[in-house]
A and B are shown apart, each in its own frame.
Chain A
Amino acid sequence: AQSVSQHNHHVILSEAASLELGCNYSYGGTVNLFWYVQYPGQHLQLLLKYFSGDPLVKGIKGFEAEFIKSKFSFNLRKPSVQWSDTAEYFCAVIGTGANNLFFGTGTRLTVIP
């Protein structure tokens, strides 16, 4: 069955710390991968996406993610977080050509000034 796992439910970091949020998926086929962010009181926004090509994907606001096919992972990283990065982060997977988008349960990031 298709699924997405985000192992970190709540991460608390100080400003300037480095961030890595884990995302693992289970899907029997080629996939497209996404990271979305939801700031407090706002709607989901796309951070970055991977369809094909370079497995290291750079997104907005200094975020990047690396697709490691052998590990079924798509971890999100940022070298130095800011207080404004406090939000909930969702990893999502959709099979190529499919309609169902599977979300992880989200990771809440709290950045302490």
Chain B
Amino acid sequence: GAVVSQHPSRVICKSGTSVKIECRSLDFQATTMFWYRQFPKKSLMLMATSNEGSKATYEQGVEKDKFLINHASLTLSTLTVTSAHPEDSSFYICSARDIGATLHFGNGTRLTVT
């Protein structure tokens, strides 16, 4: 079945540094990918929609200059958390939509900012 690879699975960084998270669709092309953030005991919150070859669409309240999204190809989208702060510590998940409109999720990235 369709597989989405998300890397890294865990990352610890110092406050003020930037972290890049990659999301790859391994066996299908995804014109649309999504980035979510999972808050403790809450559901996934959509951060942004990433469209191949165009600018990402951010949800209300998400800082686009802080969470940089690039969808350079049909199989790769990246999320860069810039100037990370401890409050950015969270679980970030990407998903890619296949031709049948089903979403396939990556394993997530646990970000800890110290």
Contacts and interface: CB of A to CB of B under 8 A. Distances in A.
Interface string B4-47: 00000000000000000000000000001010000000111010
Interface string A16-31: 0000000000000000
Interface in A33-74: 34, 36, 42-46, 49, 51
B98 to A, nearest CB: 11
B105 interface: yes
B44 A90 contact: yes
Contact of B43 (A34, A43, A90): A90
A52 B101 CA distance: 13
Which of B100, B101, B104, B107 has the most chain A CB atoms closer than 10 A to its own CB?
Answer: B101
A106 B46 CA distance: 15
A43 B106 contact: yes
Interface residues of B, number: 19
Contact of B103 (A42, A101, A104): A101
Contact of A103 (B32, B43, B57): B43
A32 interface: yes
Given A44-B105, A99-B57, A102-B46, 7 more contacts: A42-B107, A43-B105, A44-B93, A46-B102, A92-B103, A99-B49, A101-B103
Query: Closest 7 A-B residue pairs measured CB to CB?
Result: A43-B107, A44-B105, A103-B43, A105-B43, A99-B49, A103-B44, A106-B43
